[in-house]
Amino acid sequence: RSSWEREANEASVTAVTAEVCRLGLDAAVRLDDPRTLGAAHAQLGVALSTDPSQSSEADWHLTRAAELLESDEGRLRCAAAFALGRRRVRQHRPLEARVAMEQTLACLDPGREPLSYAIALVGYADVLAASGRVRKGQERFAQALILGAAAVGGRYDRGGVGVARGAGGEGGDLLG
């Protein structure tokens, strides 16, 4: 398949997923339950965040989800916080990005979900580096590598992976 065919297929899948999530949001509004509504906003925001043309709407839904799920311990709160943190770092809003990534880490248990926690640590490392705290970012990235290696029994290739000196978008991402 050509790259434009893959992109068209991905856009189509995103559109279908977003429409299903919109139906879920409509149903959640009728239920008038804040947790269900927050979950629906999180699902739609995460689905829309894969499409750059839906950036503003994704942002709104993720922000709304974070507000509604603030005291929730569920997976969607975690996914919404992570997506919002990634968006904020790309928007050059490091303080908000850091808060979102810290919320992501707070809702994960590294003992039960080591790979998810390692991924969140990489996101947090990127946020720290983007805000000028490169040394702290490198420490978090090293922790993510250690945790990831422990989770998979040390079975991955570490060749060519490192922390970039620049921030996300300026000099590269944290994965080299």
Instruction: Report the chain's mean pLDDT, rounded to a whole number.
Output: 81
pLDDT at 121: 96
Residue 61 and residue 42 in contact, taking contact as beta carbons nearer than 8 Å: yes
Distance CA 77, CA 79 (A): 6
Taking residues 3-13, what's their average pLDDT? Answer: 51
- pLDDT value at 106 more than 50: yes
Q: What percent of the chain clears pLDDT 90, i.e. is strictly above it?
A: 40
Claim: this prediction has a pTM higher than 0.85: no
pLDDT band at 6 (very low <50, low <70, confident <90, very high): low
Is there a contact between 35 and 71 (Cβ–Cβ < 8 Å)? no
What pLDDT score was predicted for residue 166? 41
DSSP-based three-state secondary structure for 2: coil
| pLDDT for the residue 78 | 86
In 3D space, the residue among 105, 99, 100, 101 whose CA is nearest the CA of residue 117 turns out to be: 105
Note the helical H segments in the chain: 3-31, 34-48, 55-68, 75-90, 94-106, 114-130, 134-151
Task: Evaluate if residue 24 carries a pLDDT over 70.
Answer: yes
Angle CA 145–148–153, to nearest 5: 120
